[in-house]
Amino acid sequence: MQFSKMMIVVLTIAVVSIFTGLALAADPIVIGGQVWNDSNGDGEIDSYSDEVGLDDVMVVFWRDYNCNGVVDGADAIYDYDFTEDDDSGNPGFYSIQAYGGWCFLLEIDGDTLPTDSFLTTPGTVFVRTANEDVLDINFGVMNYDLGYHLMGGRVWQDENDNGRIDGDEEGIEGVQILFYRDYACNGIVDPGDELFDYAFSDIDGYYTVANAKYCYVAFPEALTVPGNTYYTTAEAFAVAINGADLLNLNFGLNYQKEEPGFVCPQRASFWAYQFKGKRHANFSKDEMRKIVRKALTLTRVFRNESDLKDALKYRSSRHHRCHMELKVDKHFAALVLNLAAFEVRDDLDHPVGFGFDTALDLPEWTDATTVGEAFEQIEDAILHHGDLHMAKRLSKALTRGEGMEVTCH
């Protein structure tokens, strides 16, 4: 039998094509996963006893010929499977056989989902296969509760910023809590999500809304949150009602600590009286100890509490102190105590003093523009035997509130 050259070429091409096709054909693989009851709606398979597989849900496999992640053109249903028990008796598993290098779109048939349920994971998943099994394409399903439930919690002042309601912490009244229907159950307010309901916190900070049965996002309306506050808890909560009331949606707020605007200078005679600890003293012994401890950290002029007391009494345990030095010490001690009292103001029932940053306008005695700058000039004069007359006059002026915007009487 003779063949023409043309026939030989055609046969050769056909044979090569057949063997090339066989060589390129991938090994069969398995694609599958599980459809499970996502009881808390978080989109992850947890170890909860009620997070188990769901049988009889249909998963449809679309062949995505151009691998673009959408069903279009010649794309068609390649196969489908209903979830059922696996070989170990665990429910909710599905799988089909396919080939590596192919693309699929896996889609849940919504008509086969349990009544009153919704997906907590994407309902369509794109898969580009390689030459290995893909067995982790899982779909979460959450059941709407057939009854209605309450949602709520408390808005409170979290004084110690620990995010927990402690026994003596008070509620905040009048904060509006908004509840948006979270159709995708993804914990954020997406376009299309709608306001479901709202409530205002009562005099003790509590609030509730009723008739809840789905997924929501809860958060305070910003315009009703007290000014100058910050959150010590989450600013919004993702809510999934699953058969019970949910009443722990607590929002903690605390107030920013403002720098007080008071400038309340006290003279040397005031401080000398505080050390006597008499009944009408403004500070308790414990408060005075705090003030003194702080004062001794602010300057090297006074070594201990006795130095401060002696200076206020116009005497000194240090030898060879001249008359001017004693006067300087007296008024400088009062100045230091004013500054110290301001520093520990949060621990005092009777705030007095002024801060290093307090503005100062006293051109006849100093070019300093703040109390802190003047303090440095005075301290330098004392420690380095400078102009003690200036130090005495300036210290005395500061303890009298000269050159400051005094706010107390």
Read off the pLDDT of residues 174-219 as tens digits, 9 standing for 90 and up: 999 999 999 888 999 999 899 999 999 999 999 999 888 889 999 9
What is the C-alpha R_g of the chain? 39
When pLDDT is cut at 50, 70 and 90, the band that residue 162 belongs to is very high
**Domain at 28-142: CATH code:** 2.60.40.10
Q: Which residue has the higher pLDDT, 342 or 49?
A: 342
pLDDT of residue 10: 41
User: How far lies 174's CA from each of 142, 154, 157, 220, 222, in Å?
Assistant: 34, 11, 13, 10, 12
When pLDDT is cut at 50, 70 and 90, the band that residue 228 belongs to is confident
3 pLDDT higher than 50 = no
The CA distance from 371 to 359, in Å, is 7
172 pLDDT higher than 80 = yes
Read off the pLDDT of residues 10-53 as tens digits, 9 standing for 90 and up: 444 444 444 444 434 567 999 999 999 887 677 888 876 668 89
pLDDT of residue 145: 53
Q: Taking Cα atoms as reference points, which of 184, 182, 180 lies closest to residue 196?
A: 180
Six token digits for residue 160: 């110690």
Whether residue 24 contacts residue 97, with contact meaning beta carbons closer than 8 Å, is answered with no
Compute the mean pLDDT over every residue in the chain, rounded to the nearest whole number: 87
Q: Percentage of the chain with pLDDT > 70?
A: 87
Scanning the structure block, which residue is given the tokens 């006893």?
Answer: 49
Which strand ranges, in their side-by-side order, compose the sheet holding 139-143? 93-99, 28-37, 139-143, 117-119
148 pLDDT higher than 50 = yes
Whether residue 41 contacts residue 185, with contact meaning beta carbons closer than 8 Å, is answered with yes
pLDDT of residue 333: 95
Mean pLDDT, residues 288-316: 89
- Under DSSP, the state recorded for 389 is H
Scanning the structure block, which residue is given the tokens 């070594």?
Answer: 303
Specify the domain boundaries for CATH 2.60.40.10 within the chain: 28-142, 149-255
Of 86-90, 141-145, 242-246, 252-256, the least confident: 141-145
pLDDT of residue 113: 92
The CA distance from 343 to 357, in Å, is 11
Domain 149-255 fold is Immunoglobulin-like (2.60.40)
pLDDT of residue 26: 64
Mean pLDDT, residues 221-249: 92
